[in-house]
Structures are given as structure tokens and as C-alpha cells.
Amino acid sequence: MPYDTNDKEINQAFLPTRPMHIIRDGSDQAAAVLILAHGAGAGSNSEFMEWFAQSLAGPELKGGLAVCRFDFPYMVTRGSTGTKRPPDRAGVLIETWHAAINWVRRSPTPPHRLFIGGKSMGGRIASMVAEDEKVDGIVCLGLLIYGSACFVPSPGDGPPPVFDRG
């Protein structure tokens, strides 16, 4: 499906000490927003993340859904230096998630419903902040779930996460 760049907005938000890039696909008037974080190895502009966001942000959904993607600080650094780095520590990843959620909630047209999630590591960290942030749901893509290697906490009284093990 061709991608209309008029529906794509790139913004820059800031953590206390680091820039954070946020890409928004879909209408500013969308009733719901899904914020997606990337996995450990590829950023928010990876082929999969772009395809997933653009597929969901199409005009076919009644009421509309906007998808916001962001990069964790280590991926922003990788993008500017070209040097591969390991993911940031969990505290930084969690802080970045909170900043992305706050940016969306403070936008000129805040969503009626807010969903968060991501690919692998991004989904795992989303599940860690979901209860504190009182989101409407979690989407976890490509998250390895087997044995005791992965624990995704239940978001309290909220809806259960949606998983895709692909």
C-alpha cells in the first residue's frame, strides 16, 4: 500500500537529558492512539515497524487509529553515529516509555483511548509501565513467551495483553 507522507508527522520530544524522536502515522483527529516501541535490534523505522504502523493507521478504521513510534535513546545514538550499541538499562527504557506516553497525552488532541506496545523488548517494557500509566490495552509483537524466561505482568483490572509470537 502506498504511503502518504501527509499522514506522517515527525516530532521531537525530550527526556531530561536526551532527545527522543516520535513518528506519528495517521490522523491527528484519531479517537485512539497506539504507541509502539521497537525491539532491541532494529529501530522504529524498520521495515516491519513502518509496515505495522501504516497498516493500522489507514483510513479504514472507524473513528481512526493513529500510531506513534519512537526510538529508545541508544537507538537514537545508533542512528546519529552509525555505531551499534546494546540497549539502555531498564530504568532508561521505562523513563523513555513514560516520556512518550506523556507526549501523546499532552498533544493538542489527546486520544480518547490509549494503547501501548511494541516489538519484543519494546512490548516487554510497555507491559512494565502499563498499569502505572492506566492505558486501555497492550500489544506485544514477536515477544518470546516460554518457560520462566518471560514474565509479562497482568495490567491489573485492565484488559489482557494481545500477543503475536511471530
Q: Could you read off the pLDDT of 99-139 as tens digits, one per residue?
A: 999 989 998 888 889 999 999 999 999 999 998 999 999 99
What residues does each domain of the chain span? 5-164
Lowest mean pLDDT across 49-53, 114-118, 134-138, 155-159: 155-159
pTM of the model: 0.79
Q: Report d(CA 14, CA 12) in Å as an integer.
A: 7
Which residues, at least 6 apart from 77, have a Cβ–Cβ distance to it below 8 Å?
Answer: 83, 85
Homologous superfamily, domain 5-164 = Alpha/Beta hydrolase fold, catalytic domain (3.40.50.1820)
